[in-house]
A = this chain, B = another copy of it.
């Protein structure tokens, strides 16, 4: 397979350090976290403001890449599904998508609400939410 190189443009700083106790989704009690970007990414952040709805794209560096089927949410009472029908971190390219609200910006550090990613998780990208992707909540 063709491959490409992605780079960590920053890291998540979060009180979540333990995979077992981390919430599986942001609406399941995830805490506020900081997105700490690399110094040379500052220019790309210059239009980010508190209140922005953004999608954080992460590299789930503690995930397995060799699973193609699994029990959703690790619940063995549920039948196995193909990984592309689940949001499991375990997948061939362990890319995480996290929709969050920006609550503060301090230089190259961006504070966000309800992020379920673990402390130290590499950040690959940050994108604004488009209007047609806006949540009903």
Query: Taking beta carbons and an 8 Å cutoff, which residues of A are in contact with B?
Result: 1-9, 25, 27, 38, 41, 43-48, 52, 54-55, 57, 59, 61, 68-69, 81-87, 91-93, 95, 97, 99, 122, 124-128, 130, 132-137
Q: Which of B95, B130, B135 has a CB less than 8 Å from the CB of A125?
A: B95
Assess the B136–A132 pair: CB atoms within 8 A: yes
The one of B55, B128, B135 in contact with A86, judged by C-beta atoms closer than 8 angstroms, is B128
Do B25 and A130 touch across chains, with their CB atoms under 8 A apart?
A: yes
B85 contacts A69, CB within 8 Å?
A: no
Interface secondary structure of A, over-half rule: mixed
A1 touches B38 (CB 8 A): yes
Known A-B contacts A3-B8, A93-B7, A93-B124; A82 and B137 likewise in contact (beta carbons under 8 Å): no
Given A9-B92, A133-B135, A43:B57 Cβ within 8 A: no
Task: Name A52's contact: one of B1, B85, B137 (CB within 8 Å).
Answer: B85
Contact (Cβ within 8 A) A127 B6: no
- Contacts known (A2-B7, A4-B122, A133-B133); A43 close to B68, Cβ less than 8 A: yes
Residues of B near A130 (CB, < 8 A) are 25, 87
List, in ascending order, chain B residues with CB within 8 A of A83's CB.
Answer: 44
Query: CA–CA, A9 to B82, complex, Å?
Result: 14
B125 touches A27 (CB 8 A): no
